[in-house]
Amino acid sequence: MLIPPRDSGFNHPHPSEITPRAVYEERRQMLKLMAGGAAGAAMAAWAGREALAQQAQVVRPNKLAALAGAKSTVAGAATMEKLTDYKDASTYNNFYEFGTDKADPARNAHTLKTSPWTVDVEGLVKKPGKYGIEDLIKLSAQEERIYRLRCVEGWSMVIPWVGYSLAELIKRVEPQGSAKYVEFVTLADKATMPFVGSRVLDWPYVEGLRLDEAMHPLTLLAFGMYGEVLPNQNGAPVRLVVPWKYGFKSAKSIVKIRFVEKEPGTAWNKAAKQEYGFYSNVNPEVDHPRWSQATERRIGEDGLFAKKRKTLMFNGYEAQVGQLYAGMDLKKFY
């Protein structure tokens, strides 16, 4: 179950084949144009995605360290690690709207219609509004950030995402003083998502963050990966990436961002309260009730003799985010 399907008997379509070509080309062009400075140049230079995925990472331009106010580079730690192959990252997925098997999203998500797409920003903000996806992409400079993503099931990946800090959007809509949490509602469309309506989860898939977590510069609103628009199965056209939390906090295909006063209910917390808390920070010291969280398997290192890696506190981002939880009992607030 933890082994990615290498040659799983189907040909993975290129994103350009599963998004109407004109829309795809236009959005990819926009991502390239919008990409800020060095990241843009780097993206243009990486013509070959496959080549990129193979290459061990050299030092990359990294604005993130400055943003995060960190001395050592956040992405720097991850850039030392080999990127997960694009093929694995786009064929071994969790996206339950399209099925519960890891290969289902890549197989089924071609039905997702990512254009037109709007994201409603509502609730306790001074400037609520509806953003068309094209406007949302242009709202701030796109950056490439290489983040580890650690799934609660025990595997991890290293992915170069393209997007900008969610904080950029939040600052623009001006949260009211009473706003304490942000809720992310994702698409639940029975017509295009075969598992919406199944009893696996309570649809739509909803996630949430505390406002300060949502404002943290590491929290990324992502539109692309590996220099391309997101494949549908990875949460097109816009998703969250919260790298210090278990993967399920990184909601895919977002349609609504709502600012609220009380901690919102979240999909996995509703499904199994004792197993998935609201915080869900990666923590090797707090086991899942049914398995240890002390180690992980890096996708792509799945050989018989591949050693498991030690899972790091906050997925390795402790220096950047530890302060958010100062004084909190992380066993209680799991």
Residue ranges for the known binding site are 93, 96-97, 151, 186, 234, 239, 250-252
* 62 touches Mo ion (CB under 5 A): no
Rounded distance, CA 96 to CA 101, Å? 8
DSSP state at residue 306: P
- Closest to ligand MTE by CB, 255 vs 319, is 255
- Closest to Mo ion by CB, 62 vs 281, is 281
The dihedrals phi and psi of 281, each to the nearest 5 degrees, come to -70, 140
Residues belonging to the binding site for Mo-molybdopterin are 93, 96-97, 151, 186, 234, 239, 250-252
DSSP code per residue over 117-162: -EEEEEESBSS-EEEEHHHHHHTS-BEEEEEEEE-TTSEEEEEEEE
Site for ligand MTE in 291-310 (CB under 6 A): none
Stretch that binds ligand MTE, among 2-10, 39-47, 91-99, 160-168 (CB under 6 A): 91-99
Stretch that binds ligand MTE, among 94-102, 115-123, 130-138, 283-291 (CB under 6 A): 94-102
User: Please, how many CA atoms are within 13 Å of residue 69, restricted to the half-sphere of its CB?
Assistant: 5
| Contact status, residue 46 vs residue 31, Cβ threshold 8 Å | no
| Identity of the residue numbered 181 | Y
Site for ligand MTE in 104-163 (CB under 6 A): 149, 151
Site for ligand MTE in 181-200 (CB under 6 A): 186
* 248 touches ligand MTE (CB under 6 A): yes
- Name which of 163, 160, 155, 102 is nearest 137 in CA terms: 163
Q: Which residue in 4, 123, 235, 247 binds Mo ion (CB under 5 A)?
A: 247
- Closest to ligand MTE by CB, 94 vs 142, is 94
Q: Is 45 exposed, middle or buried (0-12, 13-18, 19+ CB in 10 A)?
A: exposed
| Contact status, residue 219 vs residue 242, Cβ threshold 8 Å | yes
* 234 touches ligand MTE (CB under 6 A): yes
Q: Which residue in 167, 170, 251, 282 binds ligand MTE (CB under 6 A)?
A: 251
**Residues at the site binding Mo ion, with contacts judged by CB under 5 A:** 94, 151-152, 247-248
